[in-house]
A and B are shown apart, each in its own frame.
Chain A
Amino acid sequence: MIRVEAVRWTYAGADTPTLDGLHLHVRQGETVVLCGPSGSGKSTALRLMNGLIPHFHEGELDGAVHVDGLAVAGTPLERLGRRTGTVLQHPRRQFFTDSTETELAFALENFGEPPQHIRERVAAAIDEHGLAAFTDRRLQELSGGQQQQVACAAAAAHRPPLLLFDEPTSNLSTAAIERFTATLRRLRAAGATIVIAEHRLHYLHGLADRVVAMRDGRVDAEWPGEEFATLDDEALRARGLRARTAPERTRPLPAYAHGPSIDHDATPSAPSGAGLTLRALRCAFRGRRVLAIDEAHLPAGVITAITGPNGAGKTTLARIVTGLQRHDGEVLLDGRPLKPARRLRESAIVMQDVQRQLFTDSVEAELRLGVPPGAELEERSRTLLADLDLEPFGDRHPLSLSGGQQQRLVVAAARLSGRRIVVFDEPSSGVDRRHLRSITGIMRDLAADGAVVLLISHDDELLAHATQQELRLRPLDGHRDPDVDHPTKRPGWYGMGK
């Protein structure tokens, strides 16, 4: 099905090749997992297979790639597209339309299928992938897991023999990963050839025919599925891979909080001390209330996870505490009420897309932006850069750094200006084991400095590693998200009759 032979690929503008001496054969009907540390070339290898290299990304290609008997370099992208279906890391970023139906029809329309045929295929896909429950909702309103289901169905709607997945679970919760696994199993049983580039390995147990570990742009090691299952964590760590077993989902302690938006019981006594206190917080958009918290305390020096399904108000809460969002009620820092304008000066957010918050033309300028100059500033910024492994990049343009480096730069700027409230919004999407640890370390350092650290994330592994307490929110209209496990549903009351 796929034959990659002696491929060397250098992206335009890069000094070193991303793939170097890559050999890989995939048989028809096989399910292959590509893993390896970030920068090892997993995603790039996928781009080789669907033709984005060399037809979309610019660079220099040596070697031969054949997919389904076609020489990739000499075949137009649209012809390759008929044979491949690709699901990228962020499903919501690849949607071209705003509803499930039109999204499923997109490829079929472009390939010129007759309308009647398209309608039948779309109806069949909705059925097979179990999408009927949300066909009437806008794609942006769906949960991450539902979006992923739609993206899979859209990639497979024109029935391509080869399916490619680029870190498909990086933004999914445990429950959504289970449903994704079921989708994979079904596609595999239907005879599709499947290649998955992935950091997380635990859910692929029993699905993969072959696991290929990549390093430095070539195959580093390779195991048949059953053999891979017998490797211990030590062997995995040696190759820079994440744990194979599912992380133990230990729920951190619930934060002290109560009110309609809170999805857990309040701890009995109100803690006191430094940190954020919220009182009678209410927030509404266009007359619809989205957040209601009667009282909550988010202590300084502690990493608090803010969790809950889409639409529960996680982002709204983060925008309120940082002073970006108007609201009713009171927010106190260390016991003193703070107006939104003051909170803006005390807060920082590490956004999911960090490019949105890099303003200047060098790493050093970025650190100095918005901070009053002083003699000690120079010294502190130097130590900070060294701490965060950014020292050699002082003159580089921030946008030319890697995603992880950009994230650390934003954190450095927040620490330099002494922000007391720091919010991390989904910082781990598409990040490997080493990076995950470095993010956790940065959050701990911030907390140790006395900051209130809030983490919005769906990544169970990150939540388990990093957080000490959890503020779980629920949507106010009573809508429940299938992606979120609800372990605190009180079984006692309902289980008594049995």
Chain B
Amino acid sequence: MSLTLGTGSVESAPPTAVRTRRTVRLDPRTKILLVLSSSFVVMAPGGQPFVPAAVVLGVLLALTERAWARALGLPLAASGVAAVAYLLPVALPHPAVGIVAVAAAFALRFVAVGGVALHLVHTTRPTELTAALRAARVPRAITVSGAVMLRFLPAIVAEARAVRDAMRLRGIGGWSGLLRHPLRSIEHFAVPLIASTLRVAEDLSASALLRGLGAATRPTTMRPPRFGAADAAAVLVVAVLAAVTLLSGAVR
């Protein structure tokens, strides 16, 4: 459940990634910091009271990139999930409902952090992310393999779709197959997916290696990330949100 939340947003990144509008642009390092710090606070024990602050942050970020649908959808989704978590058991006090409610209380935190993460995913190209990690002095082994992984995620998703098409044409796809022969279905999906991915990977790896990927020289960046006024403003906003949460006395 949580996994789909995570990688799902990665998959949807590429179509919008290139969009360059005149909007407030944060340094990718700031965006990473926003995600990690809100995740750290909200997911911690006693993090529940910080959920509204994180949602507000997510909405503000959505507004800066003019993602109106998300700016509206995020608080709606959060309040919907919160209602299931807190109001539904009061209306229907049954253990089965209780389990759903507990799951919803858990999902609420994912929604709150997810709103902030979506901003990172939608406004940061893989190359910018890699440059940001490099600028943050993350070791080469991680930036190189991370960059390769980001490059391959959309390519493999495309391969997976093609394999699914091929399975449907051969009459070995679909629900009944998965339920009757789960292992065989996994095999029929995995073997062609891996084989075709590795074939695609061979060309790309060769080309990247020849163009110096992972070379011993310290790599540079065409446009190094720079902190600006927007980043200072973001830090200020986060400080205000945290202060309001703490002062409202919700935290014991």
Identify the A interface with B (CB < 8 A): 50-52, 55-56, 76-78, 80-82, 84-86, 88-90, 93-99, 101-102, 105-115, 118-119, 122, 136-138, 154-155, 158, 319, 322, 324, 344-345, 347-349, 351, 353, 355-359, 369-370, 399, 413
Minimum CB–CB distance for A364 against chain B, Å = 15
Q: Say whether, besides A77-B209, A370-B172, A355 and B196 are in contact (CB < 8 Å).
A: yes
When the two chains form the complex, which single residue of A85, A111, A115, A138 contacts B215, counting CB atoms closer than 8 Å? A111
Number of interface residues of B (CB under 8 A): 51
User: A343: nearest residue on chain B (CB-CB)?
Assistant: B169
Once the chains are docked, how many angstroms separate the CA of A154 from the CA of B18? 19
> In the complex, what's the smallest C-beta–C-beta distance from A429 to chain B, in angstroms?
12
Q: Does B224 contact A (CB under 8 A)?
A: yes
- CB < 8 Å neighbour of B170 from A80, A86, A359: A359
B92 within 8 A of A: no
Contact B211 A356 (CB under 8 A): no
Q: Which of B159, B206, B212 contacts A110 (CB 8 A)?
A: B212
Minimum distance in angstroms from A422 CB to a CB of chain B: 11
The answer to whether B162 has its CB under 8 Å from any CB of chain A is: yes
Instruction: List the count of A-B residue pairs having beta carbons below 8 Å apart.
Output: 171
Please report the C-alpha to C-alpha distance between residue A359 and residue B196 in the assembled complex, in whole angstroms.
11
Inter-chain CA distance A2–B210, complex, in Å, is 17
Contact among B147, B165, B206 with A56 in the assembled complex (CB-CB below 8 Å): B206
A contact residues around B165 at 8 Å (CB): 319, 324, 349
Interface of B is mostly: helix
With A77-B209, A81-B211, A358-B195 known, 12 other A-B pairs at CB within 8 A are: A81-B215, A88-B206, A94-B207, A96-B151, A98-B14, A98-B127, A110-B215, A319-B165, A348-B169, A353-B200, A359-B187, A359-B191
In angstroms, Cα B32 to Cα A490, docked, is 56
Taking the closest CB of chain B, its distance from the CB of A452, in whole angstroms, is: 15
Q: Is the CB of A78 within 8 A of B205?
A: no
CA distance A108 to B212 in the complex (A): 8
The answer to whether A110 touches B213, judged by C-beta atoms less than 8 angstroms apart, is yes
Bound CA span A349–B170, Å: 10
Mark out the residues of chain B between 134 and 172 whose CB falls within 8 Å of any chain A CB in the assembled complex. 147, 151, 159, 162-163, 165-172
Whether A96 contacts B169 by the Cβ 8 Å rule is: no
Question: Chain B CB within 10 Å — which of A50, A78, A136 has the most?
Answer: A78
Q: Which of A82, A85, A158, A353 touches B162 (beta carbons < 8 Å)?
A: A353
| Chain A residues, Cβ within 8 Å of B206 | 52, 56, 86, 88, 94
Cα distance, A122 to B167, chains bound together (Å): 43
Q: Which of A86, A99, A113 contacts B207, CB < 8 Å? A: A86
Residue of A nearest to B209 (CB): A77
B32 vs chain A, min Cβ distance (A): 19
Say if the beta carbon of B75 comes within 8 Å of chain A.
no
| A55→B206 CA distance, assembly (Å) | 10
Contact assessment for B169 and A344 in the assembled complex, using a CB-CB cutoff below 8 Å: yes
Q: Which residues of A contact B168 (CB under 8 A)?
A: 324, 344
Across-interface contacts of B209 in A (CB, < 8 A): 52, 55-56, 77-78, 81
- The answer for the CA separation of A55 and B212 in the assembled complex, in Å, is 13
A97-B126, A359-B170 given as contacts; is B207 within 8 A of A110 (CB)? no
Report the separation of the CA atoms of residues A321 and B3 in the bound assembly, to the nearest whole angstrom.
35
Q: Which residues of B contact A98 (CB under 8 A)?
A: 14, 17-18, 125-127
